[in-house]
Structure 1
Amino acid sequence: MTAETPGGLGVVTVEQLRRYPDDAHVRIVEDTVYLSRDGGFDVADLEAIEDDGWRHELIDGIIVMSPAPVHAHQRAVVELVFALRTSVPEQLEVLVAPFDVDLGFRRRVQPDVLIVPAVELGQEVPRPVLVIEILSPSNRRHDLVAKRRVYEQAGIASYWIVDPDQPSTTVLELRDDHYFEVGQAAGSAELAVEKPYDITIRPADLVK
């Protein structure tokens, strides 16, 4: 195992390092851990990692691990779910992380909030029609770049990015296989969204 820690090793204990695969290269940037190796990892490797309270995702053969979210992040999750649930049509369902979403070969992610077609318990959950990521200091680039690309390539129709520190919300929709920004609001300004259903969001309400 090799380790590269430009952000410092403080977020990962020596005991955690021992649990990672022996042939892994560990890269730590701020509070996010990236595990890579020759040939890449697959879903079986992801599932073999012991539960340590971190979020584990697989993106293009790289295991991405991030620590438990901060207070502002979780407050935004709760307020978003409440806002979405008040008007969600019966054919759709609101879910939250941790919930695995398989997006093809060597890609398994856990969006903070997602809306999926409603099914009976026990049935396979279809791919989301909307995914929402809430930015944290440790995951900004991950959500703004890597996960945006993954969701876009997977054909997820809508992607929202919520920044609780601003606060702001950006809405992206898939058109001709690419995401385009169709709405953005900050503070107490209203953001009216039509897909996957009509809803109005005030970013400041998510963290007040």
Structure 2
Amino acid sequence: MLEPTTQTAAQQYVFRPLAEEKSELFTNKDVERFATDEFCRYELIGGEIIVSTAPRYIHQLLSMRIAIQFSKYLEKNPLGEILATPGLILSEYDGVIPDLIFITHERRDEILNEKDGKFHGAPELVIEILSPGRVNARRDLQIKRELYEMYNVLEYWAVKPQQKEIEVFEIGKEAKVCAENELLKTSLLPKFKLKIKQLFAN
């Protein structure tokens, strides 16, 4: 049985076990059964299924622009890959689909499951683009941040379209905010500089 909790403003639905079934958390196998709409994103966090609708235009535009900057760098420095909406299986009760990830070739070979085509483990870098609404902000800035830290994602970038900035969470360090007029650098990619102003240009 499912108990749907609708968050219209946040454009997502959360499915939880009914009160008498709280001990029976959903698993990634359950997600496969519920994932019937190809235009929705089905994620599992702590045994709860979160269904999100298709992202807005600005969301997709920012994702593409970030991927382009990474791709240009990786053409000259083939350290790994930038991938959009990959499946990450982090545990039996945690499976997410981030907007973008960077993963080195070595890490890819370690955690890529050839049978289902998903990564069974965490990449070095995860990038999420925030959607409007307090529910989405809490999910990306708190719940997912804690999830990625727990599974040893080295860096997590939360892109904020409304503020035109990126908040960077590096494992073991204080969070930092990179504003529109700054360049975002990362120790994962030597000499890489993400031009934030270009991301938010009209």
* TM-score relative to the length of structure 2: 0.82
Q: Is residue 165 from structure 1 mapped to residue 171 from structure 2 by the alignment?
A: no
1:1-208 counterparts in 2 under 5 A? Answer: 23-29=1-7, 30=9, 31-37=11-17, 38=21, 39-49=24-34, 50-88=36-74, 89-97=77-85, 99-118=86-105, 123=114, 125=119, 127-138=122-133, 139-175=136-172, 180-181=174-175, 183-208=176-201
SS in 2 for 1:86: helix
Task: Return the letter of the residue paired with 2:138.
Answer: R
Matches of 2:165 and 2:192, distance apart in 1? 16
Matches of 1:35 and 1:149, distance apart in 2? 20
Shift of 1:174: 0.8
SS in 2 for 1:40: coil
Question: What do you get for the CA RMSD once the two structures are aligned?
Answer: 2.0
Structure 1 unaligned runs (5+)?
1-22
Matches of 2:191 and 2:140, distance apart in 1? 24
* TM-score relative to the length of structure 1: 0.79
Shift of 1:201: 2.1
Matches of 2:123 and 2:164, distance apart in 1? 25
Task: Return the letter of the residue paired with 1:34.
Answer: V
Matches of 2:127 and 2:28, distance apart in 1? 23
SS in 1 for 2:171: strand
The percent of aligned pairs where both chains have the same amino acid is 27
**Preserved CA contact (<8 Å) 1:184 1:191:** no
- Count of equivalent residues: 181
**Preserved CA contact (<8 Å) 2:168 2:178:** no
Structure 2 unaligned runs (5+)?
none
Deviation track 1:119-143 (CA, whole Å, cap 9, x = no partner) reads 5798575631000000011522211
Task: Return the letter of the residue paired with 1:193.
Answer: T
Distance 1:122 1:44, change over 3 A: closer
Shift of 1:52: 4.1
